Structure formats: structure tokens, C-alpha cells
Amino acid sequence: MRLNRVVDRILIKEPSSPSDQYKTIQQQPQISSDLRNNLENIKDSFGNSPDIVIREFMFMQHNGLKIAVIYMEGLADAKSINHFILEPLMSENRVTEYDLGAVAGSDVFEQLMQFVLPVGGIEDVTDLQSLFLAVLSGKAVILADGYDRGVQIGLKGWQERAIEEPTSQPVIRGPKEGFSESISTNIALVRRKIMDPGLWLESLRIGRVTKTNVSFMYLRETADDKVVREVRTRLERIRIDGILESGYIEELIQDKTYTPFPTMFNSERPDVIAAGLLEGRVAIFVDGTPFALLVPAIFPQFFHAAEDYYQRSDISTLLRIIRYIAFFIALLGPSLYIAVTTFHHEMLPTPLLVSLTAQREGVPFPAFVEALMMEVTFELLREAGVRLPRAVGQAISIVGALVIGQAAVEAGIISAVMVIVVSITAIASFVIPSYNMGIAVRMLRFGFMGLAASFGLYGIVIGLFLVVQHLCKLSSFGVPFMSPYSPVTLSDHKDVILRAPWWGMFSRPRSISRRNPDREDSSPE
């Protein structure tokens, strides 16, 4: 049986590896010189779909050359195709004006590009795979009888969402524009902010079926070459049938470490991505999503907001301190309450201890079960508020929390203090600017609650040691995740918790890239 498998593999030339299989799937026949044969292949490949438009006509009738224009209805702009392609090609006056001559002795596509078609972005097409990709990308393809190639013209015409204010990262002071689902629009928004020819862009198609356009951008003189090569290598290694959102890319190329903490930063703000590029990071754009990725990412980055750099330095520093305090409250709030009320009564003042004891007198559950019930209930309300329609979601969250909390206290299931602790913890978790970091805190909170119920404050301290050790072991594209805390980089501490004035931040973060370290221009005027 094993020998038969080997013989069958040789006869059918089965690919020996996933990469070979991927390449075999991508191989498509070349365009034939027979126009009728090409059109039949196109119709068969699309299953005679009614939205594939094929317009055949005679070009330069005295020579009898047959031409076909192929495009996808809804993806290409039909009005532009009629005005810029069909009208010039079918206009006898336009053709004879330039005296194109006999087609047999010259390349008709070169003549079309030089004299007839008043559009830009014209590229050659030599195989059916490229032709299918062009049509499905919203382009129009021109084929001619007797030629084994064609040309594709970019005339995309699908509907796009307008540039709107970001919903996940709002600011009081700062730009109000956010990314959309169009990758070309997103790239243009960043180029508007960084008008430098050194801002390089590389693109590739990922996804055997979706063929999603993925691009990464970096400043040539600032970004670390090792990081750029690593990003390029990891993207080229992806073998998957479809990419629908940047979260696919994030999970496929992130450092292979099991961790609740995000090691790649995402944002839907062009100013945030531009600021990351100026610091030497690499931005990754995925077509079809308003969220772009930034690598490498470090821990303090998730506590910075775009508004920090638009306010005065003292205001930004105060807000950052508040965020770090909120981080520890969201992480340790319920666990500290469980530890103190269960094991360390001596730490509380006597009047407060008496008050807490009186409130918990009729509660039938220990503090851990009490906190676990409230935390799970609040997580359910929060998730329901996100998934419900916007007009109903906020009402459900607020009313549900008030009604359930009040009813639980009156029924004697939950103490009033526990409702206060859980509410403060929830509010503190919303202070963290990054949604991904907030999710990590929510996950770890339950672990700290278990440690507090088992070992008290000793368990919380042990948990903190484990978390810090885990954070110090993480990296993002070769950069330590806890930079500039570990390893310590004193020059980078001017923009971590404290935010120095702009005239004091004269150098870029050395933990990200050591190329072109100075922000200021030292050249004489």
C-alpha cells in the first residue's frame, strides 16, 4: 500500500509540501491568442455569473480586429469605462485621427496606450490568474483577438465608507479623521501627514481565495532593517485561504508566545500610525478593515493616547499616572477586597471592619463566590451592551447593572460593598486606552481573585511576580516588550509615564530603532 501511494504521487505529481501545493494552485493557463477561447474560459471560471460583463466589438473595422472589454458589475465604474474606454475605442474619428496604421505590423496595445486611452494605471496581463485578480479588484481588462496578452485599467467604482471620526479612540483635542475599509484611502491619509519620499510602501496578496491586499509601510532612514525584514518574511510565510481583517495578520505573525497581553498595537487613527512611523516602527495595512497594525509594540505604548501629545506635558503626565493607577485597580481591586476581608482583618480600622461585618452578616456566600458572581454578571452585561443594537445597548447595560445590583443587595445575596468594588473596577478598566490591554486585565483579574481567596495577600504578591516575569520574557519583533523598563533605557523614560515637553524629546526611542536617533534638524539654516 505504501508503494502504491508513492507511485500515485509520482504519477499525479502531488505537491510535497504546503508551499508547493500553494504554488501549484496559483498556476493558471496563459492567455490564448484566440479571443473566443479566452472568453469561454472566463465565463466557465466565473460560472456564467450575471455580474461579469463582457463587451465585444470591432476595432478599426477595415482591419477586422475584434476586441473585448471585461469587468465586474458593482466593482468597476461603468460610467468611467463607457467614457474612457468604450467611447474612444468605438469612435471612428478618434481612431483615424491618429492614423494607427495596420494592426498586423504593430502592437495594438502599445498604440492604445499611446494614442487612444486617456487613462492612467495601465498594466499588462499575461495569464488568466492575473486577469481574474484584476477583474475582481474592480479593474477593466481589454483583450484582442490574435494577441496572447491584454491590459488592465484601474477604474474601481465600488461604494466606500466616508472618512469619519474614530469610534474606538476618540479624543477631545486632535484630528477627527479615522481610517476606512479602503486600503488606498488609509495609505493616502498617512502620506498626507508624512510627505517624505523616504516613506516606503511594499504590497503583497495574501489568501489563496480572498487574495487580500496587505501592505506595510516604514520610513527608510528611521526603521530598523532587521524589523523590516522580519515583517516581510513573516507576511510572505502566511499560507491561508482568506484574510478578512487585520486580526488574522496579527495572530499569524505575532511572536509565538502564549500570552494574554497584546504584542502588536492596532489603531484606526492616521495620526497614531504616523507618529509610530516617525519613531521607527512599521505599519501594516489590510484591505477591508479600518484598523492598522504597528510593530514592534512595547508595554507602555498601550497606556498612551493620541491626545497626550496634543495637550501640555504636565496635563499628559497627570493623565498617564491616572491610567496606571486605573490599571492596578482594574487588575487587583476585587482580589484585594477578598484577601483583606477573608485573611487580613487586622489591616482594617475597627469601625470599617464592624461595618463590613454587619453588611455581610446575611450574605450566604464567601467573598470569593460573591465577587465571582458579580464579575461574571458584569461581563455578561458588558458583552450584551456591545452586541445589542446601539440604541438599546447602553440602556440595557445601565438599567441591567442598576436593577440587578440593587435587587441582589436587597435579596441578601451580595453585599453593598461588593457592588461598589466591582463598579469601581469596571470604571477603572474603561480608563485603559487600548481595548486589547483591557481584555488582558479582565482575564487576569479572575486569576488574582483565585489566588487571593487561597493565600490572601501572599497569593496576590506571588501573582504579581509571575506576571512581571512573564512580561519581561515577552518580545515584539525582537524588541523586549517591557522596554524601556527592562532592559533599562534611561533616555527613553522621557516619554513613558512622564511626558517631557516637546523641546525635551529631541531623540527617538532607542529601544525601537537606533537609526536616525535625532528628531531635531541640526543642519545650519
Domain boundaries, the chain: 14-154, 183-297, 313-479
Query: Rounded to whole angstroms, how far apart are CA atoms 425 and 259?
Result: 22
State the pLDDT confidence band at 121, using cuts at 50, 70 and 90.
Answer: confident
pLDDT at 35 over 90: no
Q: In this structure, are residues 31 and 128 in contact, taking their beta carbons and an 8 Å threshold? A: yes
Question: Among 329-333, 348-352, 392-396, 443-447, whose mean pLDDT is lowest?
Answer: 392-396
pLDDT at 111 over 80: no
pLDDT at 267: 94
Inter-axis angle of helices 416-431 and 435-455, to 10 degrees?
A: 150
Query: Rounded to whole angstroms, how far apart are CA atoms 193 and 500?
Result: 23
Longest dimension (CA), the chain: 106
Query: Rounded to whole angstroms, how far apart are CA atoms 133 and 120?
Result: 19
Most confident of 144-158, 308-322, 408-422: 308-322
Q: In this structure, are residues 211 and 130 in contact, taking their beta carbons and an 8 Å threshold? A: no
Q: How far is CA 389 from CA 162, 166, 383, 431, 510, in A?
A: 21, 19, 12, 23, 45
pLDDT at 60 over 70: no
Average pLDDT of span 349-363: 80
State the pLDDT confidence band at 106, using cuts at 50, 70 and 90.
Answer: low
What is the overall mean pLDDT for the chain?
83
The tens digit of pLDDT for each residue in 183-192 reads 989 999 999 9
pLDDT at 356 over 50: yes
Provide DSSP, 210-251.
T-EEEEEEEETTTS-HHHHHHHHHHHHT---S---SHHHHHH
State the pLDDT confidence band at 393, using cuts at 50, 70 and 90.
Answer: low
State the pLDDT confidence band at 335, using cuts at 50, 70 and 90.
Answer: very high
pLDDT at 25: 37
State the pLDDT confidence band at 10, using cuts at 50, 70 and 90.
Answer: very low
Cell 483583450 sits on residue: 143
pLDDT at 257: 74
The tens digit of pLDDT for each residue in 383-392 reads 877 777 766 6
Provide DSSP, 140-163.
EEEEETT-S-EEEEE-B----PPP
pLDDT at 7 over 50: no
Amino acid residing at 128: L
Question: Among 4-13, 126-135, 158-167, 353-362, whose mean pLDDT is lowest?
Answer: 4-13
pLDDT at 238: 93
Question: Among 249-253, 445-449, 505-509, whose mean pLDDT is lowest?
Answer: 505-509
Question: Among 106-115, 369-378, 492-501, whose mean pLDDT is lowest?
Answer: 106-115
pLDDT at 286: 95
Average pLDDT of span 64-81: 85
Residues above pLDDT 90, as percent of the chain: 38
What is the reported pTM? Answer: 0.83
pLDDT at 80: 84
pLDDT at 374 over 60: yes
**Count of C-beta atoms within a 10 Å radius of residue 9:** 12
Burial 439-473 (b: 16+ CB within 10 A, else e): ebbbebbbbbbebbbeebbebbeebeeebeeebee
pLDDT at 139 over 80: yes
pLDDT at 113: 75
pLDDT at 91: 73
pLDDT at 1 over 50: no
Average pLDDT of span 479-487: 90
pLDDT at 99 over 60: no
pLDDT at 33 over 80: yes
* Residue scoring higher pLDDT (352 or 439): 439
Average pLDDT of span 58-66: 67
pLDDT at 427 over 80: yes
Average pLDDT of span 491-507: 87
State the pLDDT confidence band at 525, using cuts at 50, 70 and 90.
Answer: very low
What cell numbers appear for 490 in the block?
A: 534611561
**Count of C-beta atoms within a 10 Å radius of residue 509:** 24
* Residue scoring higher pLDDT (524 or 283): 283
pLDDT at 446: 94
pLDDT at 390: 65
Inter-axis angle of helices 367-387 and 313-342, to 10 degrees?
A: 140
